Amino acid sequence: MSRFDQLVEIAREIANKINLKQNKNLKEFMNTVFEKVVEEFNLCKNFQARAKVYGDAFEAIFIVIMETFFPDTNLIHQYEIPEICMTGEGKADFEILREYKDNLEAMESHSSKIVAVIEAKGSSDYIICNGKRIELERPGMIRTDTVKKAISNAAQVKFGLSKDILFIVVTSHKPEKGNAKCMIDLALKSGLFDMVVDITKFDELNEMVSLIKKHLT
């Protein structure tokens, strides 16, 4: 089993344990998964691995949230779009395709089928080591470098493929002030971003899925 598969299994186990579907406590779910991941992957000692594992864990969290609440939304993880240089380590985090049930392998070369590209930018805002809670700086979209990377990827999609393709950022934290918020507001106003979604807020997830469904028709 790959590390990512392990992360998805951890997220599924915790979702079942806390009865996520019924209580919709998305913040508790996310934090509990991150705490378990720290323990399982020894991230208190392995500092260099933390950022990558957190990023993968956030993607696993998002997958489990979507399959729990929106199982009819076909989320394709790690999708390559060679036409806009999104391959290898730079492939898109998630895709939604217009037609997806029959011959997925044959369709993967047809970028015209893409309805939405979803960028995942999330991490924990704290880590517990030796019983001590340590706050981590600028998680999710609070970090300006993270926002800049998302804007760059949005530009590849919107100008390299089509402005009609949705570009949605899902995150663990949205900034309330400063340059990061200013940049997000500009990206939303310009149409580079169609939405920035806090996955701990069910209403925002529901709005995202409604927007995707409108573009699927």
State how far the alpha carbon of 49 is from the alpha carbons of 36, 38, 173, in Å: 15, 10, 21
One-letter amino acid of 90: G
Q: How confident is the model at residue 144 (pLDDT cuts 50, 70, 90)?
A: very high
1 Cβ neighbours under 8 A, 6+ residues apart: 9
**Is the CATH number 3.40.91 carried by domain 3-216?**
yes
Q: Given this model, what pLDDT does residue 149 score?
A: 97
Q: Where are the domains of the chain?
A: 3-216
Tokens of 112: 């015209």
**pLDDT tens digits, 177-191:** 999 999 999 999 999
Q: How many CB atoms lie within 10 A of CB 118?
A: 25
Q: What does the pLDDT read at residue 189?
A: 98
Q: What is the reported pLDDT for 216?
A: 87
Q: What angle do CA 47, 48, 50 make, to 5 degrees?
A: 65
Question: Within 13 Å, how many C-alpha atoms sit on residue 129's CB side?
Answer: 13
Render pLDDT for 53-107 as a digit per residue (tens, 0 to 9).
999 999 999 999 999 999 999 899 999 999 999 999 899 999 998 864 555 555 4
The two structure tokens encoding residue 90: 């730079």
The residues facing 195 across adjacent strands are: 168
Please determine, for residue 51, whether its predicted confidence score (pLDDT) is greater than 70.
yes
* pTM score, whole prediction: 0.93
Q: What does the pLDDT read at residue 100?
A: 47
